[in-house]
Amino acid sequence: MSPDDITGGRGRRHYTRGVGRWEPGAGDRLREAALTLYLERGFEQTMVADIADRAGVTARTFFRYFADKREVLFDRSAELERSALAALEAAPATASTLEAVAAALSAAADLIGQDRELARKRQAVIMSTADLRERELIKLADLSAALAEGLRRRGVPAAEAALATEAGSAVYRVAFQRWVDTEDGTLDLHEAIRQSFAQLHTLTTPH
Amino acid sequence: MSPDDITGGRGRRHYTRGVGRWEPGAGDRLREAALTLYLERGFEQTMVADIADRAGVTARTFFRYFADKREVLFDRSAELERSALAALEAAPATASTLEAVAAALSAAADLIGQDRELARKRQAVIMSTADLRERELIKLADLSAALAEGLRRRGVPAAEAALATEAGSAVYRVAFQRWVDTEDGTLDLHEAIRQSFAQLHTLTTPH
DNA sequence: CCGTTGATGTCATCAGGTGACATCACCTTA
DNA sequence: TAAGGTGATGTCACCTGATGACATCAACGG
């Protein structure tokens, strides 16, 4: 172990000479390494130690940043929940229940809809693995529950709140998938969501 | 190990004298043992070896019956999917998309709605543990996907099919939770589902 | 009576995950 | 400037979930 090993480069030493004690941004490096490896080899074939190596840390450090091997793809969802909830709370008091939910989804689309390529990669990995689909679903369910609580604080009855946010979640899932799948570069996520809401309306009023 | 150990009783030997080679119904014993222990100590606190002991088998046998520690609570869902799908396919050609979905949910309610006490126990365990909630959600998502495929086979466009079954799934989840939570012994699951469908209709037609 | 069969046990091994403690450079403060 | 605190990390030990390979044993069919 010569002093030359002190590089901070990938998979080597972890110190850096002048700036800070450790190469900063271990969390980001881990996120990036994980997505890359999950895409290249698949989720099950990738071991936590591999991800950690590629990010220049140990497996123990991985688990200090992320609760488990899946969470590395999902820990941004806390932000998403915050801004969706904020948008719901910012909706005018005159808004209908579903309009408030739509405002929340629109805020989510603002964040997610920026980078379709990233969304595609993430979605490809997630949809290819049951473990990751499970995590994705519970994150959306938790978001839905948070929004439902927000609705209740606005005076919406519990049953109505739960149904509205679950339906909103369904709309979002379908729209997101359509947005990711389409070749059409002009379709943005907001528009896809709007269309799905319209379709839900049509569905529930058949005659 | 005297011959007297050959009893087939819980946590002891596994042979039985006359009937079959092994005490039959290992799967059922494991299911029951798991639910009991998950209720008593919680899911994380229960080890597979504990469940296996209580059922009179080894942990290796547990994993021959169930893919993982969670699946022991969910492997009946294959049946559920079959009968829901059958009901959807049996719906008259004149039925609307949502009516076909409602028929499928009704078939599901026929199975689940029989034993509210069992449903309550199961739900209590599942809702108390993130791992189990994840599994529950993916099972419902898979059911929804299967129904959507059934709708597409009936000629329903893909986007409409996905949205209808996801919305139906939302209706089911909300109704089921309400049915489990209520004290009212006269409310049955079918009725709860009917009410949630009605509420969804109200929600989407605000004026 | 014997070979096959199927459910099970035993053993070994790996990957995910966690607690306890050591380390090391930076930072604060006297 | 020396002493001690701090925070991110490494190291080690250990548990549990999960899986592959192989042995066992009673029933069953010929």
Q: What topology does CATH give the domain B74-204?
A: Tetracycline Repressor; domain 2 (1.10.357)
Residue B184: what pLDDT?
A: 85
Choose the weakest-confidence range: A36-45, A84-93, B158-167, B177-186.
Answer: B177-186
Residue B21: what pLDDT?
A: 65
* Bridge partners, residue B22, by sequence: B15
Q: Which residue has the higher pLDDT, A32 or B22?
A: A32
Tell me the pLDDT band of B61, cut-offs 50, 70 and 90. Answer: very high
In this prediction, residues B154-178 reach a mean pLDDT of 97
DSSP B1-22: --GGG----TTS--B-SSS-SB
Under DSSP, the state recorded for B207 is -
| Percentage with pLDDT > 90 across chain B | 85
Q: CB–CB of A204 and B200 under 8 A?
A: yes
Question: A9 pLDDT exceeds 80?
Answer: no
Choose the weakest-confidence range: A5-19, A184-198, B33-47, B97-111.
Answer: A5-19
Tell me the pLDDT band of A17, cut-offs 50, 70 and 90. Answer: very low
pLDDT tens track for A144-172 = 999 999 999 999 999 999 999 999 999 99
In this prediction, residues B95-115 reach a mean pLDDT of 97
- Chain B's closest residue to A202, CA to CA, is B204
| Nearest-neighbour CA in chain A from B32: distance (Å) | 25
**How close are the terminal C-alpha atoms of chain A, in Å?**
77
Question: B6 pLDDT exceeds 70?
Answer: no
Question: B90 pLDDT exceeds 50?
Answer: yes
Question: A42 pLDDT exceeds 70?
Answer: yes
| Percentage with pLDDT > 70 across chain B | 89
| Percentage with pLDDT > 70 across chain A | 89
In this prediction, residues A38-60 reach a mean pLDDT of 97
Residue A24: what pLDDT?
A: 75
In this prediction, residues A49-64 reach a mean pLDDT of 97
Q: Which residue has the higher pLDDT, A3 or B53?
A: B53
Instruction: Give the residue extent of every domain in chain A.
Output: 3-69, 74-204
Tell me the pLDDT band of B207, cut-offs 50, 70 and 90. Answer: low
Under DSSP, the state recorded for B67 is S
> Mean pLDDT score of chain B, rounded to an integer?
90
From the list A130, A135, A170, the residue facing B166 with the nearest CB is: A170
Domain B74-204 in the same topology as domain B3-69: no
- Confirm or reject contact between A196 and chain B (CB < 8 A): yes
In this prediction, residues A190-198 reach a mean pLDDT of 97
Q: Which nucleotide is nearest to B44 (CA to C1')?
A: D16
- Chain A's closest residue to B171, CA to CA, is A163
pLDDT tens track for B124-148 = 999 999 999 999 999 999 999 999 9
In this prediction, residues B22-43 reach a mean pLDDT of 93
In this prediction, residues A13-22 reach a mean pLDDT of 52
- Confirm or reject contact between A171 and chain B (CB < 8 A): yes
Three-state helix/strand/coil letters over chain A: CCHHHCCCCCCCCCECCCCCCECCCHHHHHHHHHHHHHHHHCCCCCCHHHHHHHHCCCHHHHHHHCCCCCHHHCCCHHHHHHHHHHHHHHCCCCCCHHHHHHHHHHHHHHHHCCCHHHHHHHHHHHHCCHHHHHHHHHHHHHHHHHHHHHHHHCCCCHHHHHHHHHHHHHHHHHHHHHHHHCCCCCCCHHHHHHHHHHHHHHHHCCC
pLDDT tens track for A73-123 = 999 999 999 999 999 999 999 999 999 999 999 999 999 999 999 999 999
Residue with tokens 């969470």: A71
Q: Which residue has the higher pLDDT, A128 or B7?
A: A128
- Confirm or reject contact between A170 and chain B (CB < 8 A): yes
Bases in strand C with any atom closer than 7 Å to a protein CB = 6-12, 15-20, 24-26
Residue A5: what pLDDT?
A: 33
Residue A21: what pLDDT?
A: 66
Q: CB–CB of B174 and A163 under 8 A?
A: yes
Query: Domain A3-69, CATH 1.10.10.60 — does that match?
Result: yes
Residue A15: what pLDDT?
A: 52
Tell me the pLDDT band of A20, cut-offs 50, 70 and 90. Answer: low
SS3 of residue B85 by DSSP? helix
Closest C-alpha among B104, B71, B69 to residue B88: B104
Tell me the pLDDT band of B205, cut-offs 50, 70 and 90. Answer: confident
- Give CA–CA dist A150/A207, Å, rounded: 33
Question: A18 pLDDT exceeds 70?
Answer: no
Angle at A158 between CA B126 and CA B81, to 5 degrees: 40
